């Protein structure tokens, strides 16, 4: 009798393990998104799409297979490099009843709730614990999300920069479909992923570089970035972008994820100057020098977009939440502080959850000190 019970227990454990593995595989398959065949009809007519892929205006040095061993050993040997020394502080999220004229709340990485002339725009929302097709493997969040997604106010638009897992998260998108009514404004091809995840067609707005759409009194313009895309084996079958959010009085530039590119000068001439720039400062590396900005390049980008260092305010994003590079946790913000002081650029770096009203005196709390 005892032997039968033991074998029954083993069988149940094996069955549970198999079921768990099947569920994990299904979740990963679903998270990857749409295959190339479902994306191609929506992108084939773009002048930026050639020979089956999108390309940067400034070519990036391609990653060579010969670099793979160095990259592997760098990841294995980095240990706790990139992790904070102690718990990252969180601010109590504040959301006024009405959106402000120029404000932003940072939720970590590139997830920002931007307020422009009474409109709210949510950028690159990622609420999952890991940025990976699997919630069991992959880079894990280094601080909690400071607010539940169900506690967000209603937004006017959700803007996505590209389809990498740390910027486009299937679970978060599914929650936003259920909890929000706003359209998803995305670069060409990303609509394929959204359709696969059940986003209604009426809520998908796909744009190419140079195209724009209106949401209320807000104009949302799709602009170039220097990066790449891909969630599975296929690369660059969807477009990557930066975004211009322009209201009747204020304008914001959202850099998403990009290396420095000379096209920012033309972008600034056409759309600038900006009251606020949201620019990435983390996850840079000599392994990929062209597709992620250094903090110094972010300051340079702010200056180029505005024509002068003294115009507007820069807010750093794409740092401190996921360990995606080989630098220390605090290095990006320390380097940014030095670079902005050398150039005379005004910056404001909120702690996760903190909302900053940029029409009021900027906070000076260096909350990151001691977290190296």
Q: Could you report the per-residue pLDDT of 155-199, keeping only the tens digit for each?
A: 999 999 999 999 999 999 999 999 999 999 999 999 999 999 999
Helix 2-32 and helix 170-179, axial crossing angle in degrees, nearest 10: 80
Token couple for 246: 């322009």
Whole-number pLDDT of residue 233 = 85
Q: 294-323: per-residue pLDDT in tens?
A: 999 999 999 999 999 999 999 999 999 999
CATH 3.60.15.10 fits 76-357, yes or no: yes
Read off φ and ψ for residue 113, nearest 5 degrees: -100, 105
Q: Using alpha carbons only, give the angle 164, 278, 143 rounded to the nearest 5 degrees.
A: 60
Provide the 8-state DSSP code for 277: E
Whole-number pLDDT of residue 81 = 82
Per-residue pLDDT band at 71 (split at 50, 70, 90): low
Token couple for 141: 């969040």
Burial grade of 216 (CB within 10 A; 0-12, 13-18, 19 or more): exposed
Q: Which pTM was predicted?
A: 0.91
CB distance 240 to 231 below 8 Å: no
Q: 242-298: per-residue pLDDT in tens?
A: 999 999 999 999 999 999 999 999 999 999 999 999 999 999 998 889 999 999 999
- Cβ neighbours for 315, distance < 8 A, ≥ 6 positions apart: 104, 106, 112, 276, 277, 278, 279, 347, 348, 349, 350, 356
Whole-number pLDDT of residue 19 = 47
Q: Alpha-carbon distance 2 to 5, whole Å?
A: 5
Distances (CA, A) of 371 to 41, 46, 86, 283: 47, 45, 6, 17
Q: Where are the domains of the chain?
A: 76-357
Look-up of token digits 């990498």 = 164
Per-residue pLDDT band at 63 (split at 50, 70, 90): low
pLDDT at residue 132 is higher than 70: yes
């Amino acid at each position: 009798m005892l032997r039968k019970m033991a074998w029954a227990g083993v069988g149940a454990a094996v069955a549970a393990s198999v079921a768990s593995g099947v569920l994990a595989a299904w979740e990963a398959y679903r998270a990857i998104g749409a295959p190339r065949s479902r994306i191609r009809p929506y992108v084939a007519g773009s002048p930026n799409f050639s020979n089956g892929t999108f390309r940067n205006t400034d070519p990036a040095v391609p990653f060579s297979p010969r670099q793979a061993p160095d990259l592997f050993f760098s990841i294995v040997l980095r240990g706790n490099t990139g992790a904070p020394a102690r718990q990252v502080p969180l601010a109590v999220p504040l959301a006024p009843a009405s959106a402000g004229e120029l404000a932003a709340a940072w939720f970590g990485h590139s997830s920002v709730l931007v307020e422009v002339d009474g409109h709210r725009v949510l950028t690159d929302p990622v609420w999952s614990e890991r940025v990976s097709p699997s919630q069991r493997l992959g880079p894990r969040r280094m601080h909690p999300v400071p607010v539940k997604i169900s506690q967000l106010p209603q937004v006017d638009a959700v803007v996505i920069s590209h389809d990498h897992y740390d910027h486009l998260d299937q679970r978060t998108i599914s929650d936003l479909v259920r909890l929000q009514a706003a359209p998803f404004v995305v670069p060409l091809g990303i609509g394929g992923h959204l359709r696969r995840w059940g986003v209604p067609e009426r809520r998908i707005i796909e744009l190419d570089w140079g195209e724009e759409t209106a949401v209320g009194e807000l104009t949302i313009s799709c602009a170039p970035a220097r990066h790449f895309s891909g969630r599975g084996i296929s690369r660059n079958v969807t477009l990557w972008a930066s975004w211009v959010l322009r209201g009747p009085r204020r304008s914001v530039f959202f850099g998403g994820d990009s290396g420095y590119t000379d096209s920012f000068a033309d972008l600034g001439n056409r759309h600038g100057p900006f009251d606020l720039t949201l620019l990435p400062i983390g996850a840079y590396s000599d392994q990929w020098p062209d597709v992620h900005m250094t903090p110094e390049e972010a300051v340079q980008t702010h200056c180029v977009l505005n024509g002068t260092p003294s115009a507007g305010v820069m807010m750093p994003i794409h740092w401190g939440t996921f360990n995606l590079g080989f630098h220390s946790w605090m290095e990006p913000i320390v380097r940014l502080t030095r670079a902005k002081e050398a150039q005379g650029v005004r910056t404001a770096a909120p702690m996760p959850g903190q909302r900053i009203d940029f029409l009021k005196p900027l906070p000076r709390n260096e909350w990151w000190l001691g977290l190296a």
